[in-house]
Amino acid sequence: MTLRFTAALVVLLCVGVLGIAGTINTFAIVDAVNAKLPASDQFDAIGWWPSKTLRLQRQYRRLYPDGRLLWRQGVLTYAMLFCTVLAAVLIGFGFLSIAFLGGIGALLFWFVYFKH
């Protein structure tokens, strides 16, 4: 039992590391978009909510149609979801709650990061 919880803790630490990497990647996206926008339309790096994030992603796709930063953000997000689901399995959550978490999360992230 202790080995499973230790493994779950390690996996949850990976979620934190991936979250930091995702934040650094988001700052790179903001910097790239702001470099091509006028000062009045630039994004502030602080204070994020879903509509602002989606607007940033639209601008990035418009300004950098072949850019890879959003793809990288999606991969990091999927890795975080995978680690979270793995931790839930190791902790002993029920099948339905794990399937719901993984399924809804994967579908949501697909539409946000990969579906154009």
Q: What is the pLDDT of residue 17?
A: 98
Say whether pTM exceeds 0.75: yes
| Contacts of 54 by beta carbon, 8 Å cutoff, 6+ apart | 112
Q: CB count, 10 Å around CB of 38?
A: 7
**Sole residue written with tokens 């029920």:** 94
Q: What is the pLDDT of residue 98?
A: 93
Domain of 86 in residue numbering reads as 2-114
Calpha distance 60→36 (Å, rounded): 10
Q: Give the total number of structural domains in the chain.
A: 1
Please check whether residue 76 is in contact with residue 18, taking contact to mean a CB–CB distance below 8 angstroms: yes
Q: What is the pLDDT of residue 90?
A: 94
Q: What is the pLDDT of residue 1?
A: 73
54-to-30, 63, 109, 113 alpha-carbon distances in Å = 12, 14, 12, 9
Q: What is the pLDDT of residue 116?
A: 67
Could you read off the pLDDT tens digit of each residue along the chain, which spans 116 residues?
A: 799 999 999 999 999 999 999 999 999 999 999 999 999 999 998 888 999 999 999 999 999 999 999 999 999 999 999 999 999 999 999 999 999 999 999 999 998 888 76
